[in-house]
Amino acid sequence: MTSPSPDITIPVPAALRYLETMPRPHEDLEKHTLVDHRAGGPPVVFARGSWCAIDIAHLKADRIDAGVSTYETLIEHARASAPRPLTAAVLRSTSGRRVVAMAGLDGHDAFRRLASAWDDHHLYAKHHAVSESVALALYSVATSVGDAEIDPDSHDAYTFERIEGNPVHVAGTLPAFASAPGFVGAVVFVKSDATRTIVVTRFARADAYDAFRSGAAATGLLGESRAGGESAFGVHPVKTFA
């Protein structure tokens, strides 16, 4: 695995500024866009030790579909220019206010190329951003446990959680999650500058996750979950690429 180097964070990429005018599905067809925006795709796994670019967009409620479409287009363009197919996923929050994009990469150089391409993409426009905040950054997959597949056809409850600070103990204690009732799987991503950890968990039911996360064991492992869904929120895979 490539040795970590200073992380690149892209504050509010201009790509998301286009979301205010992103075409609706019928308009997209009229413009002959080649991207297949139908939901679905194969189950994907981000393997331990691999690199992954992760972006999170906070959107106006009526622009969530446009956000999903934007990321699907950006990922398809990245896949077309990559030397090998990229494993990727687009997830929609259950609240209908966030979209998460995850794209497997070969390392820091590939991340720089992806960040540059996304910043220069034709979807960017001068219109004001509908996203409240976006943070494209490079992560490595630290570990996983159980069935950590990201599967659009699954009826399981997925949760996306960001944890600030030193990630070492999070990855090291993840196997303890396996004893939680309803637990299916989880994967841990560590930001390349080790300042943030992302944990994607998969439970059979959302209430099983809530019961686990509010318990003393999870609080001891992960700390208190911030109120309002800012650090942890339910998601569901919309589209995957392999």
Q: Which of 35, 15, 16 is nearest to 25 (CA)?
A: 35
| Domains observed in the chain | 10-31+40-137 (3.30.70.100), 141-230 (3.30.70.100)
Give yes or no for residue 31 having a pLDDT over 50: no
Residue 135 confidence class, pLDDT cut points 50, 70, 90: confident
Which has more pLDDT, 168 or 37?
Answer: 37
Q: What is the mean pLDDT of residues 184-204?
A: 92
Alpha helices in the chain (DSSP H): 25-30, 64-81, 108-120, 168-173, 206-213, 216-222
* 54-58, 106-110, 146-150, 221-225: the lowest-pLDDT one: 221-225
Residue 218 confidence (pLDDT): 78
Give yes or no for residue 112 having a pLDDT over 70: yes
Distance from C-alpha of 98 to C-alpha of 132, rounded to nearest angstrom: 10
Residue 30 confidence class, pLDDT cut points 50, 70, 90: very low
Average pLDDT, the chain: 79
Percent of the chain scoring above 70 in pLDDT = 74
pLDDT 10s digits, 141-177: 998 999 999 999 999 999 999 988 766 666 666 777 7
Give yes or no for residue 229 having a pLDDT over 80: no
Give yes or no for residue 45 having a pLDDT over 90: yes
Give yes or no for residue 52 having a pLDDT over 90: yes
